[in-house]
């Protein structure tokens, strides 16, 4: 799941298996473990706080992660419309 209410997603759509990018925001004023989600160069949201500490820790320790769209429904609430899969690059 990814929170889209804080990104630039008003007209953004996603397709299954589309690759996205994570960006660690260690200086974020609201969450020191914030991890932003990008589609190309556009910030589209954040990894939810309940999961961000784990993802942030992996990124902070140099673990390379891949992200792809699992599910998108533009009619759902912003915090529930995009689900992503994240895994370690081996």
Low-confidence ranges of the chain (pLDDT < 70): 1-11
The residue segments making up the domain with residue 53 are 19-88
Closest CA to 40 of 18, 63, 11, 73: 18
The answer to whether position 74 is within a domain reads yes
Whole-number pLDDT of residue 1: 44
Q: Evaluate whether residue 6 is within a structural domain.
A: no
- pLDDT attached to residue 30: 87
Only one residue has tokens 């994240």, namely: 86
pTM for the full predicted model = 0.83
pLDDT of residue 77: 83
CATH number for the domain that contains residue 77: 3.30.70.2330
4 in Cβ contact with 74 (< 8 Å): no
* Element at 54 (helix H, strand E): helix 49-60
Q: Is the dihedral of CA 79, 83, 84, 85 positive or negative?
A: positive
> For residues 14 and 70, is the Cβ–Cβ distance under 8 A?
no
The number of domains in the chain is: 1
Strand partners, 26: none
């Amino acid at each position: 799941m990814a929170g889209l209410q804080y990104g630039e997603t008003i007209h953004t759509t996603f397709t299954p298996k589309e690759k996205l990018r994570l960006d660690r925001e260690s200086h974020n004023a609201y969450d020191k473990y914030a991890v932003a989600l990008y589609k190309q160069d556009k910030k589209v949201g954040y990894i939810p706080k309940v999961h961000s500490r784990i993802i942030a820790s992996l990124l902070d320790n140099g673990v390379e992660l891949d992200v792809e769209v699992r599910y998108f429904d533009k009619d759902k609430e912003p915090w529930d419309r995009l689900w992503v899969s994240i895994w370690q690059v081996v």
